[in-house]
Amino acid sequence: MVLGALWLLAGLLAARQAAAVLRLPPDERLTDLETWIGEQGVLHVGGSLYDGDAFTGTPFSGLVLKPLTRAAEQSLGVAWTFGTLLLVVVLGLVAARALPGPVSRRTALVAAPLAICLLTLSLPVRNTFTLGQTSIIPVLLVVLTVLPRTSGRQAGVLIGVAAALQPALLLFGVVLWLLGRRRSAALAGATFAACTALAWVAMPHDSASYWVHHLGGAGLGEPADSLANQSLHGLLLRIGLEGPVELALLAVLAVAVAVVGLRRAVRYARDGQLLLAAAITGCVALAVSPTSWQYQQLWILLAVVGRVGRRAADRLVWPVLVVLVMTLSRTALLPDLKIAGHIGYNAPLLAALAAACLVPFVSRTSPQWDSPEPTPVQEPHRGRFAWVPLLRFVRRPLSRPNLLLELMFIRVGYFAYSWIRAHAPDERGVAEGHGHQVLSIESFLHIDIEHWFNLLVADTPWLRDGMNWYYSTFHFLIPLSLLGWLYLRRPATYRWARTPLAFATLLALVGFWLYPLAPPRLMGLGYVDTAHGPQDLDNPDFGALTKLSNQYAAMPSLHVGWSLWCGVVIALVAPYLWMKILGMLYPLLTVAVIVGTANHYVLDAVGGAAVVAAGFGLQYVLLGVGRKPAEEANGSVAAMLSAGARGVRERARALVRGPRAGEPGETSQVAEVPHQKEAAEPADASR
């Protein structure tokens, strides 16, 4: 079933990508393909390929790919799009076939559809589809060389042709030479020289422009210091270096990266991880090349096959990081801060450098290759209610999760939350109609206190200022601080507590989408927006405020939901009664603040409490935790084991020295019963 679902997902993603390109107007799709089939493209231009600096390929690519572009021209890009899709599928199948063995049968089955899904979602492939580039061809040619049945002669020819399309891929010939495959390396160089010479004979002026005037393509396309150029040269230019200083530093860095990266590639190739060695070499080529555009960055994604970490809990960090860098935009990866922004802008290059020079991939000869340190887990607690269908196969991890992985999931989760919240339906008429529904229900229940309380807050300066500060500050500060404290001091409780918070947030997003609701301050009924001031309801955008978030995502109130989650967790883990009381006062104060500032109705608070209760309920169904979470992780288990061992030692000493004066004697049977009991308790606790 899982295998079928993965293949279905791969097919849907591929179809969606093709449809996203083909439904664009002809003048907006395959924009780089215009450099081939447009009025001034390769097929029609009378002068040099590089007169307009739009074409960035080698003269050889301009020579041999014209038949493909003619097919694209005749079918308005349909054949080109489906041809590119076929290349992606073939690349996924080859990459899955080239995984370092031995692999389990389950891994072998799911590898191909999973690889196709990741390739289709990746930014380089999406960029290739949109622009009409041919960058998948050289990657596929090189990856074909790592298949078991590819001969040395075939490998040399394939790498030579790939290098003729992208000259930096000549580094694969260097790797062949270092591996002792001298004939294959020489054949790769000869093939590259022959293809380049053929293009020089057919197009001497273009070849001279590319290899002499532009020094291997440098200066073609976008400016070298643009964010699209993810190479060391582009990075140095972006930080302000230029001229001889930049070139000298670039030479030093390029040599260092090439030496370290290629040595690592050779080591992993000899270890039997040929696909990883190819990915590392490709990452080196990206870093040292004068220009490395987004459609050339597939090598980074292929580095996902490397295994990193001695613990099973750490094995996901590297592949998740690579997938996020290769599939998400900069704003999704990191918050829009100055320092984080620089990292986000150069994330592909940093990932390539990490794969090439830094990440300590596990060797196949290491005992940790197939047997990483397992994560301690606990079986689900027996439920209090027999009618609750507990999912017994879900076990509760007890160790502290990997911090980097947690931060990545939190960041991406919050980005997804913000995106969905901002794109939820925001029709003014529908949202105001729902607002009148809520007010009618509250009037029927005699809880419509929003208007009275809002005017009271607006007329009391100290109360108004305090609530405005509370509303804008505590919503993120308290939950994040509590999560950080739990992670450091109570790791098992952290795992237990984050699950209902995630469920509650997901359920709230469903509410935002299905029930857009205008808050009281946007109803035009005399409410005072104490935080933002009066809004111009005749302006459909309500000023600049709607640029921040969807103003109609009011039901349920996550201010109340998150604060109630904090209150419940604090009440469970706080050691003192006064702390528990403060924890439970926090959601009550939040309810007063959201109503007093006219940001929510009372029923919004009820909705926030409902999604949190549902979150804890779903967590109970998964893990069966129906009581205060206990720290069964490393420290507690170790203490219990130590206590058990201490009890055994004390009884052993008593047996050796015999009974003291005045002490009753013990038979061996009596002494053995507690010994068995003590030995059984730690084993039961560890389970």
**Residue 318 is encoded by which pair of tokens?**
């590297």
Is pLDDT above 50 for 112?
yes
* pLDDT tens sequence across 521-557: 888 788 887 776 655 555 544 443 444 466 777 888 8
Short-list 635, 127, 555, 674, CA closest to 376: 635
Percentage of residues in the chain having pLDDT higher than 90: 20
Short-list 247, 233, 256, 402, CA closest to 315: 402
Return d(Cα 284, Cα 270) in angstroms, integer. 18
Is pLDDT above 70 for 662?
no
Work out the average pLDDT over 13-42: 57
Q: By three-state DSSP, how is residue 279 classified?
A: helix
Short-list 33, 221, 213, CA closest to 42: 33
Distances (CA, A) of 287 to 251, 354, 390: 12, 11, 50
Is pLDDT above 90 for 574?
no
291 CB-near residues (< 8 Å, 6+ apart): 56, 217, 218, 220, 221, 224, 229, 231, 233, 234
Q: What is the pLDDT of residue 356?
A: 93
Work out the average pLDDT over 479-486: 90
How many other C-beta atoms are found inside a 10 Å radius of the C-beta of residue 245? Answer: 10
Work out the average pLDDT over 52-58: 66
Q: What is the pLDDT of residue 532?
A: 67
Stretch among 241-250, 501-510, 663-672 having the lowest mean pLDDT: 663-672
Q: What is the pLDDT of residue 160?
A: 93
How many other C-beta atoms are found inside a 10 Å radius of the C-beta of residue 521? Answer: 25
Work out the average pLDDT over 32-40: 48
- Give the helix ranges, DSSP H, for 122-220: 123-131, 136-143, 152-165, 171-178, 182-202, 204-208
Q: DSSP character for 209?
A: I
| DSSP states of 341-401 | HHHHHTHHHHHHHIIIII--BPPTTSTTTT-PBPPPEEPPPPPSSTTS---TT--EE-SPP
Stretch among 88-102, 474-488, 632-646 having the lowest mean pLDDT: 632-646
Q: What is the pLDDT of residue 205?
A: 82
Q: What is the pLDDT of residue 681?
A: 37
Asked whether the beta carbons of 391 and 298 are under 8 A apart, the reply is no
Q: What is the pLDDT of residue 53?
A: 56
Return d(Cα 533, Cα 523) in angstroms, integer. 14
Provide the pLDDT confidence category of residue 655 given band limits of 50, 70 and 90: very low
**Residue 457 is encoded by which pair of tokens?**
């807050």
Is pLDDT above 50 for 178?
yes
Provide the pLDDT confidence category of residue 351 given band limits of 50, 70 and 90: very high
Return d(Cα 75, Cα 146) in angstroms, integer. 34
Q: What is the pLDDT of residue 266?
A: 94
14 CB-near residues (< 8 Å, 6+ apart): 85, 88, 89, 116, 120
Work out the average pLDDT over 435-446: 88
Q: In whole numbers, what is the pLDDT of the chain averaged over residues?
A: 77
Work out the average pLDDT over 153-157: 92
Q: What is the pLDDT of residue 57?
A: 72
Q: What is the pLDDT of residue 671?
A: 35
Work out the average pLDDT over 311-335: 83
Is pLDDT above 80 for 334?
no
Work out the average pLDDT over 148-175: 90
Provide the pLDDT confidence category of residue 418 given band limits of 50, 70 and 90: confident
Provide the pLDDT confidence category of residue 367 given band limits of 50, 70 and 90: confident
Q: By three-state DSSP, how is residue 181 classified?
A: coil
Work out the average pLDDT over 652-667: 43
124 CB-near residues (< 8 Å, 6+ apart): 135, 294, 295, 296, 297, 298, 301, 326
141 or 336, which is more confident: 141
Provide the pLDDT confidence category of residue 96 given band limits of 50, 70 and 90: confident
**Residue 199 is encoded by which pair of tokens?**
């293009």
Asked whether the beta carbons of 502 and 619 are under 8 A apart, the reply is no
| DSSP states of 533-576 | ----TTSTTTGGGGGTS-TT--SS-HHHHHHHHHHHHHHHH-SS
* pLDDT tens sequence across 222-258: 788 888 888 899 889 888 888 889 889 999 999 999 9
Stretch among 35-39, 351-355, 471-475, 514-518 having the lowest mean pLDDT: 35-39
